[in-house]
Homo-oligomer: A and B are copies of this chain.
Amino acid sequence: MPKIVVLRWGHRPQRDARLTTHVVLTARALGASGLILSDIKDKKIKEAIEKVTENWGGPFFFEMGVPWKKSVKEWKEKGGIVVHLTAYGENIQTSDVLQRIKASEKDILVIVGSQKVPKVFFSRPVSDFNVAIGSQPHSECAGLAVFLDRFFDGTELAKDFENAKMRIIPQKRGKKTVKK
């Protein structure tokens, strides 16, 4: 199975603190291998995700401050493809874009913007595919979740995380966790 890494672009530490944290947690919980917070450093988010991975397991890497151009360039040099999630792209439900992405059998860098993204993100030097999780405005967090769930055919939600200190035991009622 190809691996997926998320590139979070346009993070503004004050305004986007919680949303970016949710994007990182979503990436981890739904099967991505790691997330790159591009162009900026945010120690609080790094600490938050490292604490989650320490308690609930991994592997999941978090990098920050890398210029987005560098990440994209290196990703492509290693043979990976780039998918840009945008409401303007090919609709994941009504087009065959997901099948074409899967058919490539390549590792995927998924770009998830915060603020309005530069025009170049839509074009070939950057993105191999522009994918819309529906053609309505909504949330990059929701979009990323649906993309990962569909890409991994749901298997990511059954994944066993390694070196977890805690684990939830699913229950019909109430909460049950075990310490390892």
Contacts and interface: CB of A to CB of B under 8 A. Distances in A.
Interface string A2-34: 000000000000011011001101101110000
Interface string A134-157: 111111011111100110001111
A122 interface: yes
Interface residues of A, number: 62
B89 A172 contact: yes
A22 B89 contact: no
Contacts of A163: none
B155 A93 contact: yes
Contacts of A156: 134
Contacts of A122: 173-175
A91 interface: yes
Contact of A18 (B19, B161, B173, B177): B19
Nearest to A27: B138
9 contacts: A30-B134, A52-B137, A91-B157, A91-B170, A93-B154, A132-B170, A133-B145, A135-B167, A141-B141
Shortest 7 CB-CB distances between A and B: which pairs?
Answer: A142-B145, A93-B157, A22-B139, A29-B138, A134-B157, A29-B136, A26-B142
